[in-house]
Amino acid sequence: MSSHCEKSLPDKLCLIPFMGFNIHPAGEWQLCCSARKKHLLNLEDQLSSIWEGNIINSVRETMLANKVHPDCVGCFQLEKAGAASRRIRFNKKRLKIYGKDKCYKSVYEKKKRLLELDISFSNLCNLDCVTCNSEYSSSWIKQDYKAVSEGMNFRNIRKDRSWKINKGFIDSLIENSIKDIKMIFIKGGEPLIEPNCLYFLKKLSEFQRDDLTVYVQTNGTAMDSKVISAIGDLNIEISFSADGLKSHYDWIRGFDFYKMLENFEQLNAIKNLKHSYFNYTVSAFNFHRVSDFIKFFMDKKKRFHKLRRLSFGIAHESHLNFRVFSQDTRKKYIRQIEETVKELNVKEDFLDGYTALLQELSLDKLSESSVQKFQKWLSFCNSMRKKNLQDIDLCFGQILKESL
C-alpha cells in the first residue's frame, strides 16, 4: 500500500482547509482570519454542512491544482513581498505537530476529518483596545459610530451587532462534530465573560478527552470562580493578549497592566493548565517596544514557569500598520530586537512569529493616505483615552516627530 508521504504537497497549498476552519464573532465562518471572504453561518446547520460543503471543497480543489484561491490572495501578496504569511507559518507548525504522514493524510484522504476548530461565540467584550473594533468587541459599538461620524470609515465595523452562538448549536457541536477534533481555539470577544463559552467549556470538560487540547485567547481581565470551575479538568492552554507593558499597555488596552498580570499568575496556579502564552499584536503604537516586552518576560520566566511562548501577530490595517513609519526607523528597532534576543539567549521556540515580524518590519513604507489614516486614528484614540500616547511614551513621541 502506498504511503501518503510518497506524494508531495503542491507549492501553493495551505493545510488550513484540510484541517479546520474559523467561526467568526459576527455569525460568519471563513477559512481563517486572513481569508478574504466570510460566509454566513446558519446556527440550525451542523458543522459538517460547512466541512463537507461546496465552498470549502472548491478551495481544496483549487489548492490541489496548485492555484491561488481568491480568498487566499493576502497570503501570497505577503509572500511576494518577502514576508512569511499565515499559510507558511501554519504549514510549518502543523508539519511539526502532526508529522508529515498525518498532514498528507489530511490532504489526500477522501473523507476529511475535522481536526481543528477556531471558534468565537460572540463579540461580547469588556475592553475597547485601540487595535480592535465592534466586529470583535461590543465595547466598541458606541465609539465606532462616533469614529464613522468623524470620517474614519476605513475600519471594519459590524452592521448587525446582536449575533451569538446559542446553546442548541453548542449541544449539536458536542454531540456530532467533536469526535475527531484535536485542537479547539477559542477566541472572542472576550470568551471568559461570554456565558455560552463557559457553558461550552463545562460541557467539554464532562467529555473527558485526554487527546483534546483547548486553547483560550483571553484579554485576562476576568478571572473568577465561574471561569475556574468552567475550565474544570480540561487539557487547557491559555494565551493572554497584552500589547505593551505598564502605562503603555493601559493606553492600548484601557485596562490595568498589574491587575492583568495578577490574573495571569492566578491562572497559572491551576493544576490542569498545561501552558500559557502572551500574545502581542504589533502595530504602529508599539513596534518600538517589542524588545522591552521580550526582556520583561525573560526576566519573569522562573516565576511564570508555565509560560511557553510570546506570540507576535501583526496589525495589517493601514491605520494601525507600523509601515506608516520610515524604513530607517523600523530598521533601528529590528537591530534592537535582534540584539536583545542574542544578549538574553532567547530560544527560537520562545518567540512565535518572530521571523515574520522582522521580515515585515523591514518592508517598504506605506502610502501617504495610510499615514493620514494612522494620524487620524491616533488622535481619535488619544481623545478616547483622555491621554496622549506621545506623552505617556516619550520614545513614541520622538518617532512621531522624526519618521512619519
Binding-site ranges for ligand SF4 (CB under 6 A) = 14, 16-17, 31-32, 34-35, 71-72, 74-75, 85-87, 90
Task: Name the helix (H) or strand (E) containing 312.
Answer: strand 307-314
In whole angstroms, the minimum distance from the beta carbon of 54 to ligand SF4 comes to 17
Nearer to ligand SF4, 86 or 323 (CB): 86
In whole angstroms, the minimum distance from the beta carbon of 134 to ligand SF4 comes to 23
Integer angstrom CA distances of residue 315 from 173, 318, 371: 31, 8, 14
Task: Name the helix (H) or strand (E) containing 197.
Answer: helix 195-207
In whole angstroms, the minimum distance from the beta carbon of 352 to ligand SF4 comes to 15
Nearer to ligand SF4, 118 or 128 (CB): 118
Q: How far apart are CA 28 and CA 42, in angstroms?
A: 8
- CA 286, distance to chain mean position in Å, is 17
Q: Which of 175, 172, 169 is nearest to 207 (CA)?
A: 175
Q: Which residues pair with 279 in a beta bridge?
A: 241, 311
Nearer to ligand SF4, 90 or 333 (CB): 90
SS3 145: helix
Nearer to ligand SF4, 17 or 244 (CB): 17
Contact between residue 161 and residue 141 where contact means Cβ atoms under 8 Å apart: yes
The owner of cell 446547520 is 45
Q: Which of 241, 240, 242, 244 is nearest to 395 (CA)?
A: 244
Nearer to ligand SF4, 87 or 94 (CB): 87
Residues contacting 354, CB < 8 A, separation 6+: 312, 341, 348
In whole angstroms, the minimum distance from the beta carbon of 277 to ligand SF4 comes to 20
> Phi, psi at residue 280, to the nearest 5°?
-115, 115
In whole angstroms, the minimum distance from the beta carbon of 71 to ligand SF4 comes to 6
Q: How far apart are CA 13 and CA 18, in angstroms?
A: 10
Contact between residue 13 and residue 66 where contact means Cβ atoms under 8 Å apart: yes
Nearer to ligand SF4, 94 or 330 (CB): 94
In whole angstroms, the minimum distance from the beta carbon of 16 to ligand SF4 comes to 4
Nearer to ligand SF4, 255 or 312 (CB): 312
Nearer to ligand SF4, 35 or 307 (CB): 35
In whole angstroms, the minimum distance from the beta carbon of 83 to ligand SF4 comes to 12
Maximum Cα interatomic distance, the chain, rounded to a whole number of Å: 68
In whole angstroms, the minimum distance from the beta carbon of 261 to ligand SF4 comes to 32
